[in-house]
Amino acid sequence: MYALTCHITIGNATFDFPTEVSMVESTIKLTDTCLLKFPKKILWNNSNIFFGSAALIKKRDVVEVKLGYDGILKTVFKGYVRAIHRKSPVEIECEDEMFRLKWPEVIVKQKRFDSVTLKDLLKYIIPSDSDIEFIAPDMNLGKFDISQDCQPVEVLENLTKKDGYGLQCYFQNIDNCPTLFVGLPQAHFMNYAKTHKFKFNYNIINDNLNYIDKDDLRIKLKCISIMPDNTKYEVEVGESDGELRTFNFYNIPKADLKKLAEDKLTTFKVEGYTGTITVFGEPVVTKGDIVQLYDDRYVDVVATYSVCEVKRTYGTGGYRQEITLDGRLGWN
């Protein structure tokens, strides 16, 4: 039997005895979160670690969580303390690097751009004195208005709205360095994605999957093209009552936009699984990774999917990962 192992650093303090750890990382949410629970009565030099003026742990302290088995640990979360709750057990809410772009003193000044690229906008909203790196495609956003002073995260939220640009914004650790990714859905960090193999009735503990036939998929695509003069063209294809997906493009002529939309629709009309699988804590799966599902009940069928969300739990119930499948990437 494997022994659960953890090492948690908060500020200058280290712990290996949490009551519970739970975290969520996602490509469709701006912020990854981590909830740490500890026994309430923990003292350090006769002072309570979590409460009072001499508390060892404070808001904005740096947090790193390492989990594993038999002393072999892997970092699964890096971020900051967002809040401490006086409960039993004590709850510490943490957020990833996105938390720094929410701090009240980090201000983006009001500005109207007649035309701006995505990369130049990110350079404008990310504090110049920060060490935050980003990856983004060469994409012209056209006219962009920051109507009032705000935090950088509010600008990122506008970029993610489906009726606007429909981009995804999230932090991902690359070579142990948190990096902001802003781009089109399912683009992810494909150059950095790891591939993991899971097999039914072997290392998949349980699943909540539905198999969808392509003829049962009802999808409506809205494709928007922003031209260099900021003119916008829109087309819709698919079922009128289907699930809406919005995509933005730059400088696609109106005559070509419908064909592009129809071609893109075929990539969604693909049969396969939707839902979640639950696996053990190893191998560590992160958002944007790739999973291959093996099912020898059907002559060893293999399907490959991208991962859009991972919910990770650690405690008395063991060490588990609930993985949400995104689009199917292919059959093997």
- Residue bearing the bigger pLDDT, 126 or 268: 126
Contact 111, 144 (CB under 8 A): no
Asked whether residue 299 carries a pLDDT value surpassing 60, the answer given is no
Whole-model pTM: value is 0.86
**Residue 44: pLDDT band with limits 50, 70, 90:** low
pLDDT at 1: 64
| Average pLDDT score, the chain | 86
CA-based nearest residue to 182, from 275, 269, 101, 276: 101
Identity (one letter) of the amino acid at 123? K
pLDDT digits (tens, 9 = 90+) for 66-98: 999 999 999 999 999 999 998 888 899 999 999
Of the chain, the percentage scoring pLDDT greater than 90 comes to: 48
Mean pLDDT for 299-328 is 87
Q: Are 184 and 167 in contact (CB under 8 A)?
A: yes
3-state helix, strand, coil in the chain (%, to 5): 15, 50, 35
Beta bridge partners of 38: 90
Where helices occur in the chain by DSSP H, the ranges are 118-125, 152-160, 254-268
Among 71-75, 160-164, 311-315, which stretch is predicted with the lowest mean pLDDT?
160-164
For residue 24, pLDDT over 70 is answered with yes
CA distance 105 to 150: 10
pLDDT band at 187 (very low <50, low <70, confident <90, very high): low
Q: pLDDT higher for 235 or 266?
A: 235
| Least confident stretch, 32-46, 57-71, 131-145, 306-320 | 32-46
Number of H helices and number of E strands within the chain? 3, 23
The pair of structure tokens assigned to 217 is 């998929």
**CA 239 – CA 42 distance, rounded (Å):** 58
Angle between helix 118-125 and 152-160 (nearest 10):
150
Most confident of 119-123, 214-218, 224-228: 119-123
Which of these, 113, 103, 90, lies nearest to 150 by C-alpha position? 103
Confidence bin at 130 (pLDDT 50/70/90): confident
Which of 157, 149, 218, 133 has its CA nearest to residue 31?
Answer: 157
Q: Which two tokens stand for residue 262?
A: 């129809």
Mean pLDDT of 41-48: 66
pLDDT band for position 166 (cuts 50, 70, 90): confident
Q: What are the structural domains, with CATH classification, of the chain?
A: 4-101 (2.30.300.10), 107-183 (3.55.50), 195-213+271-331 (2.30.300.10), 218-268 (3.30.1920)
Q: With 90 as the cut, is the pLDDT of residue 185 above it?
A: no
Q: Which residues of 246-273 are buried (b: 16+ CB within 10 A; e: fewer)?
A: bbbbbebeeeebeebbeebbeebeeebb
